[in-house]
Structure 1
């Protein structure tokens, strides 16, 4: 069994006010802990970044840069995508298979979009997936209810709903502390 870490879209563009409020302000710090662990173990790491094709998107230009807290080292691959899944139109699957990866740990932004889509596809491609749920986050912009009479959900509700839809069928949702085998800080 070979494990790999996939960090999804932890980009500076997600700091823009455009997205609204978010849950889990410590997601990037927790992702950085996973990254440090994988580096220390010399395990495969894949950074993914979204290159938006929409005019004015916060995830284009300078906003497409990966946040410094999880910035890739020169030998760590960066997979560029322009759709929700890190597997569509990229060589991520081929790179994982070339390294003999069977298990992936996924974290990043945003939980109901690119994290969810990549998690689902990884499972469908036969990988054993662990979702580091507390190293992911959702935003208020994800609460669009223009299609229904339902009240808008909070970013935390959106996140929890997305995680609950993935856990058990597509992934095992675990905290970073559980993944790393460390005690939860008081």
Structure 2
């Protein structure tokens, strides 16, 4: 009587019914933990170096490149303009990496990608680009010498003789000695 309710397809025993996987749930939970760890380490790094909390925010973007391989982008967002913070951006990134290494040494944090973004209402005092001539003028004025080791005598700066003090005034009037002048020999 109720034959119309029965399925007319034959049962296929060869296709087992697989349980629903929790891989996406565990992966998203793992990513949430990573995001929260980065935010906590950033907050701790800012506190440790005395940077006010309102200046910088953080967004963490995780991009799946291949199965099991994620690329992590840390976007530091400047909420309020601070030129000093931009000057030390590289040092801040390094401190953040070191903090992440401290809290989670099992992960290679050197592969994380950092980027900086300015909030639209951060209050940047430079709303437009300067004249093109200013770039050429600034680069010639800001060229500095590379730091030279104090042990490298080839690059010592020579002062004019008038600026040098007389190192041994008493010896200047002394009689000449019978010693031969010192000769430089190569080191072996």
TM-score (norm 1): 0.21
Select the structure of larger CA radius of gyration: 2
Higher relative contact order structure (alpha carbons within 8 Å, sequence separation ≥ 6): 1
| Higher fraction of strand | 1
TM-score (norm 2): 0.21
